[in-house]
Amino acid sequence: MEQLGTDEGVRHLGWLEFGADGGFDRERAARTLAAVGDSGVEDLYVFVHGAHNDPALGAGFDRGMLRLLAEQLPPGAPAPGAVGVRWPSLVFRDEGAPGVEEDTLRAERAARPALTRLMREDLLRILPDSAVALDTLAELLADRPRRAAAFDDFGSALRRLAEVPLHDPRADYTSDTEGELLPQADPLMLVEDTQAICAEFTGALRDARENWERGEEERDGEREERAEPELTEDPSEEGTLQEVQTAGPRPVEPPSARVGRIGTVVGPGPVGGDQRELDPDELWYGAHELLRQVVHHVLRRRAGLVGQLGLGACLRELVDPDRVRIHLVGHGLGGRLAGFALRGLGRSGPGRSAGRVHSLTLLQAAMSHFAFSGSIPQHVSGHGALWEHERFVEGSVVCCFSRHDLALGLMHPLAAQMAGDSAELSSVARKWGAAGFDGLHGLNGTAAQGIEAVVEAGLPDPGIVNVDASSLVRRGDPATGGAHHDVLHPAVAALLLRQIPA
């Protein structure tokens, strides 16, 4: 069986592989899970992430986390096992994800806003039905025409890349919420004027650089000694009455006024109001970011489907919880996939009951911070797509977040805004924010704790726990998401080991 190799104290036992429709080879999965049973491990970590451009890159996160777990494992402790999850996803290689070679990283960043040949091959491999659209997008980013009509062509190609029929099963996994009177379906970035949206993302990139420069002293200077990060004690005043009562403290301010405003980009003032100030060449950098966000939209949708129909179903049918405790660990897009696996676990049928895992750890999860909430701000009905699904976790649901994750704190809210919806009484960041930036909202008992304090004292009673990892997850490139991929830290591994019962 293909393996990464075994670090002392941690046993890598293979991979579970899934297609874009959630399908998986049952015989291969059975062999992997048989290896888990034969190993005798009592605790099994299932790692899920989105860096699957190729096998070498995909192994980067798993190898790094295996090494850290082995280093943090207490002497004499039973050896846990680990299994990776492979699914058709990718990261843009300029983001600096674990496993990207330094030479590749420099080449990708130097090429922006154009796509390198390697990145075009990645996109085509993951989105094989979109070859024509990808060719158009790549040509426009390379040529950067100054005519306004070129942005219309860019938008049309993006819509071909992302569109699915309403009856397509993928459409059901677009949103992290359910039960609204007006279901959400199409992101605003795909239906609004493309040049204006490019201007919005160009401005967001500028805001990200400025935000990052303001934070350099905090990240690089001497940090004051303190037990945990300073968290605001005042609960948010935004949202429905029920949501305000349960939201708890909000530890993070929006990284940009762009997402701190009331309304959408088509709210107050003209859409993309700063586009007249931008040179057309600069707008193509916003177009590159728009492409990144549309691809992320497609993959977020896929992550939900693969999580529920693939990983959740696989674990429910093939793993015996009486023999091994399963610890799901999801980073970024993999966090959404791991979260939606709970929906698959919860689907019982004739002759089978709902399954359970022992723990779920979300590391910088690319999903709504209301995913587990029973109410949604400004909606008379609706709830998070994972509302009450924490009952399929025996121990803790841990959500690690960082205010230095600009991919989720700035770009995600802009990209997640839905056509026909608005945030007229709550801010863009509040309504469409991500769990990986400021934790899970709208729940009782979710006040954030600093990661150092949790590692030292241990997790509280089973339930949902927000963990502020900003003191560690803080390094990256502001043009490609800030600290989104900066998750391989000893304290993160120690936190994962805290999920194992004493």
Q: What is the pLDDT of residues 111-138, one digit of tens each?
A: 999 999 999 999 999 999 999 999 999 9
Q: Directed axis angle between helix 490-497 and helix 55-72, to 10°? A: 70
Residues 6+ apart with CB under 8 A from 279: none
Beta bridge partners of 177: 384
Domain ranges of the chain: 11-328+349-384+402-497
Model confidence at 380, pLDDT cuts 50, 70, 90, reads: low
| Over residues 149-156, mean pLDDT | 96
- As a whole number of angstroms, the distance between CA 168 and CA 473 comes to 37
Model confidence at 225, pLDDT cuts 50, 70, 90, reads: very low
Q: Which of 472 and 377 is assigned the larger pLDDT?
A: 472
**Residue 300 CB neighbours (<10 A):** 27
Give the DSSP H or E segment for 300: helix 280-305
Instruction: Categorise residue 365: left if φ over 0, alpha if ψ from -120 to 50, beta otherwise.
Output: beta
User: For residues 82 and 32, is the Cβ–Cβ distance under 8 A?
Assistant: no
Whole-angstrom CA distances from 98 to 5, 61, 240 are 17, 6, 40
At residue 232, does pLDDT exceed 50?
Answer: no
Greatest mean pLDDT among 161-170, 214-223, 253-262, 492-501 lies in 492-501
Predicted TM-score (pTM) of the model is: 0.91
User: For residues 23 and 310, is the Cβ–Cβ distance under 8 A?
Assistant: yes
- As a whole number of angstroms, the distance between CA 229 and CA 78 comes to 32
pLDDT given for residue 44 in this prediction = 95
- Among residues 468, 436, 471, which one has the least CA distance to residue 450? 468
Question: Which tens digit of pLDDT belongs to each residue from 168-209?
Answer: 888 888 888 876 656 666 899 999 999 999 999 999 999 999
At residue 264, does pLDDT exceed 60?
Answer: no
